[in-house]
Amino acid sequence: MRTIFLFLLMANLVALAWTLGYFGEAQNGREPQRMSAQLHPEAIQLLREPPPPLVSVTCQRMSGFASPLAAEALKIELDAALGGKGDWTVSLTTIAAATEYWVGIPALATTLLAEKKKSELLAAKFTDLKLVEDASSGLTGGPFVILIAKFADEAAAKKYLAAQSKTLRTARVLPREREAKSLLDISGSAKDFESRTKDLLAPHALTATACEAGDSAR
């Protein structure tokens, strides 16, 4: 009986050693090979999807609408044609009519006189000057106004002028009525922009400019 027990014990030990690969090259599924595979993580490769291609986006601002209703109607058309398609967005901003206050030099009869005065202001370190025909006169070809600064508040305009009184001796605070206007920003693929918007915009004879930084451009 003892002999049989020892024989069975030896047989089990031999079988265990064979399973663990101690009697030659390990075969698939045996423990040494599984351990070896775990010691080579560099053999594992993760498949990743390639990133989507970059799309160049442009933004154009449309202005010069006959009325706010015309701007709203065009936005509805553009939303129907472009809305929800990729990166296309259409946004409408309406600026209400208001009184604004210019600090400027008025009553310059000719462009020659206006340009001369403008050069003097530039030499005095005033920048962002604009030469504007004075529409309030009802005439064409003059007189002109050199616009130096623009304010929404009359008190702020007077304060600015008082601080510059030694240099701006002939400048005045000029109230001006600002008409209501609509600005329609269209943003989308630069490659397809003209082909997708040309027919929709053509009937309106609008003025197109690049959107200001931070508005709709992405």
pLDDT on residue 191: 86
Reduced to 3 states (helix: H, G, I; strand: E, B; else coil), residue 121 is: helix
Under CATH, to which class is 57-96+180-210 assigned? alpha beta
Residue 29 φ/ψ region, left for φ over 0, alpha for ψ in the -120 to 50 degree band, beta for the rest: left
Domain ranges of the chain: 2-43, 57-96+180-210, 99-177
Does domain 99-177 fall into CATH 3.30.200?
no
pLDDT on residue 40: 58
Cβ pair 61, 184 in contact under 8 A? yes
pLDDT on residue 217: 36
pTM: 0.49
pLDDT on residue 218: 37
Residue 182 burial (10 A CB sphere; 0-12, 13-18, 19+): buried
Mean pLDDT in consecutive groups of 10 residues from the start of the chain, 218 residues: 66 65 52 55 65 78 91 92 78 90 92 91 91 71 88 94 91 90 91 87 90 55
Q: Would the CATH topology of 57-96+180-210 be identical to that of 99-177?
A: yes
Token duo for residue 205: 């004879």
What is the residue type of 186? I
Length of the chain: 218
pLDDT on residue 74: 93
Residue 22 burial (10 A CB sphere; 0-12, 13-18, 19+): exposed
pLDDT on residue 57: 85
CA distances, 46 to each of 35, 40, 43, 49, 144 (Å): 21, 14, 10, 10, 71
**How many CB atoms are located within 10 Å of the residue 71 CB?**
22
pLDDT on residue 5: 62
Strands 181-189 and 57-63: antiparallel
pLDDT on residue 85: 64
